């Protein structure tokens, strides 16, 4: 895998931030908290594993148990 294949577009980063922000608001947690960071890691891992649609990521994080 080359460096260029590993680059995530600005649009994708913005989309993942939206998913994180909405889920943190729903859970009433700060995105910079440990739980917020854990959600961010889940979102990023899922994205890199091929789950690249906003609705897919939203469903994923909403189905996670605290």
Quick one: how far is CA 16 from the chain centroid? 4
pTM over 0.85? The answer is yes
* 14-52: pLDDT as tens digits: 999 999 999 999 999 999 999 999 999 999 999 999 999
Pick from 51, 60, 48, 49: nearest CA to 22? 60
Q: Which two tokens stand for residue 22?
A: 């909405």
DSSP tag of 8: P
């Amino acid at each position: 895998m080359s460096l260029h294949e590993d680059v995530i577009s600005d649009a994708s980063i913005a989309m993942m931030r939206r998913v994180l922000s909405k889920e943190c608001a729903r859970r009433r947690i700060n995105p910079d908290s440990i739980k917020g960071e854990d959600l961010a890691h889940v979102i990023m891992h899922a994205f890199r594993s091929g789950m690249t649609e906003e609705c897919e990521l939203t469903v994923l994080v909403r189905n996670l148990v605290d």
